[in-house]
Structure 1
């Protein structure tokens, strides 16, 4: 039986490295034929040598470009006593897109943020299944991404733990029998805090997620519930369920990753420890026909002989309005989700940099959404234009807020909070 050919873009990030762990655990069934990363050249070189990868890409290359990368590869290969396996090196902003567009059985897209759209579309246009950890590309692309998948008979396979849980639970019934999708949220590090208390939290506090180890952007997004809002939009698009039938509940233990409620009042839940290798393994084992071969994930199962408890509570929308803003953007469609996502990325950087308080993130997103006027047509060009507009709007808005209230760092009561 031939090995399945896998490309991983965003390979040096949290999800990318865990995906390679799963692939190593199941090496007899997979061959990694392409890797792409952003800035971490040393990590990319190490991965390329470990998995004997013939094609690599780096979106932010060193000054020496491909020649310097080749030199680093040969040097590292010599130190390991192996040959340099890389035949192609792609550099520049479209490197991940080029690598993702190569012939393969599956592309796992773990790029962070809107930058992953090109890679998703490149793979789908090639007719390649996409294991999607980069939710933003589906969220901002919307019908463009769904149409590309349908037109080329390619599958979009969720990697997020919540959407993997829903996909697994949906195997218990038909689409017409679904009453509700229930997406669980840990509540992040600030669960239970009031809006007033949130004004003074720091980036260091926001980056301490209680259950998951993730990159800085997604960790901050989890703290604001922006990430949960993006997941609602993603669930709507992936599973064709109306927003009115998608509910978010807070589940601090992060053991139940999401649920599906059916028309007979039965609820099916997917339960496992909070370990991203589980949904990654499920995605990698999924075939185009929807059948899944469960792979070894390397994760440790729950010990059912030990006492444990699970609790659920409603979302505090007054303290965390970003979730509602995301749903609003999703309902409006067109380029509103792109504006929501782009503005958030700029505002998260501003918060981490001490320019605005934590509560300034959702307020800035709201101002961008209110100011946005979408184009008549929804195309890749209009999506990218809306993304660029939202980033510039957020930057100018930040400047205006800072000038109006100079003391706008976390721990103050800035006007942007």
Structure 2
């Protein structure tokens, strides 16, 4: 029986992780969970799964939840802030930490969990984007598995099983193309937040949906793949596949290509990660090839969607540049969702920050966190206008 901590339990990945656990409840115990501010969503989770610990990022939310638990005489201990996340990520009894929080907030708890010997089911892109070298070094040192939850990296992980990395020629990461595939730069000028969060295939949170629409999501995934699988950037290819049936592929040196195919349901990569190395009975709808008309592939339009090009540039520069790029993108997307900047300003802000902040080729964790904070402050001070 695996004992889990789930960071970001009320988000898209967190709630789908709970679905997977419900389907196989006898094999899992949830020890700790975290959320940001929505304590009301946490209450039924406490009642159903009875975790020992809950960490709320927001102090007021933690106080309200603590009051509710005292009234109901629940034994759950309520914590708050980053200290709370770190605590539930390093509990001695926990085997696996599912990091499904969005943004840089997941970096420190993930590293602390790794240093405590916990396997990681990783759904937090920013952890590897901002500090991939540090994270993978810590995982190797502590003999920890980093199990990818992203559909693309979960697919690559499955395609690599039973094969040697030295026999890999190329990793092929597929992209749906997002809701604006085929549009021109001119057509992107008036895009609104409500347009950008309408993903054609996947059920995702708002931030990730916007990243998908700008193709930033694919750029982040390329950087992740570089660190997860130790493959050079020149050997990672992005291919637009609108049907989202093939989730990624691995090409071997003999020309063979192994692809992972399934319905567009995040519960599969979640299930594979938290059960690894075994497979369980399907929790998703299975593919029906008789009703599948065609599978098509295109080259991504990185001239129209410049975020992909910027992310690849940051990844190849390495050091602290991916952290700079990521911080600028996070704040810019938040400002766009709040109607404070225009859609195409997201890429402008990222490019400006990549030019403005000094490139440190070998940053430590403190330096990564410091530049992350400085970039966020710069973007907010210059673009967060009422």
Q: What TM-score, normalized to structure 1?
A: 0.89
Cα 1:392–1:71 shift into 2, 3 Å: closer
Cross-structure match for 2:355: 370
What does 1:221-232 align with in structure 2 at a 5 Å threshold?
221-232=211-222
Alignment of 1:17-416 (within 5 A): 17-62=15-60, 65-66=62-63, 68-75=64-71, 77=72, 84-86=74-76, 88-103=77-92, 104-286=94-276, 292-375=277-360, 377-398=362-383
Taking the aligned partners of 2:266 and 2:379, their CA distance within structure 1 comes to 32
Q: Within 2, Cα distance between the matches of 1:331 and 1:307?
A: 38
Structure 1 distance, partners of 2:240, 2:315, is 21
Q: Secondary structure at the match of 1:368?
A: helix
SS at match of 1:148: helix
| Inter-partner Cα distance in structure 1 for 2:291 and 2:227 | 38
> Could you say what secondary structure the match of 1:157 adopts?
strand
Aligned with 1:188: secondary structure? coil
Alpha-carbon offset, residue 254 of structure 1: 0.8
Larger Rg: 1
Contact 1:285 1:294 in 2 (8 A): yes
Task: Determine if contact 1:342/1:387 at 8 Å carries over to the other structure.
Answer: yes
CA-CA distance at 1:52 after TM superposition: 1.4
Q: Measure, in 2, the Cα distance between the counterparts of 1:186 and 1:155.
A: 28
Deviations 1:126-160 (A, max 9, x none): 00000000111121112111111111111111000
CA positional deviation for 1:43: 1.3
Q: 1:307 to 1:145 in 2, by over 3 A?
A: closer
SS in 2 for 1:319: coil
Q: 2 CA distance for matches of 1:369 and 1:268?
A: 36
3-state SS of paired residue (1:108): strand
For 1:72 and 1:250, how far apart are their aligned partners in 2?
48
The answer as to whether partners of 2:34 and 2:85 remain within 8 angstroms in 1 is yes
**Distance between the aligned counterparts of 1:71 and 1:367, measured in 2?**
46
Q: CA RMSD in A?
A: 1.6
**In 1: Cα distance, 2:215 partner to 2:229 partner:** 21
Deviation at 1:13? 0.4
TM-score by length of 2: 0.96
Work out the CA distance in 2 between the residues paired with 1:235 and 1:307: 29
**Measured at CA, do residues 117 and 310 of structure 1 come closer, stay the same or move farther in structure 2, by a change above 3 Å?**
same
Deviation at 1:224, TM superposition (A): 0.5
Once the 2 structures are TM-superposed, how far is the Cα of residue 61 of structure 1 from its aligned partner?
2.8
Structure 2: how far apart are the matches of 1:376 and 1:180? 26
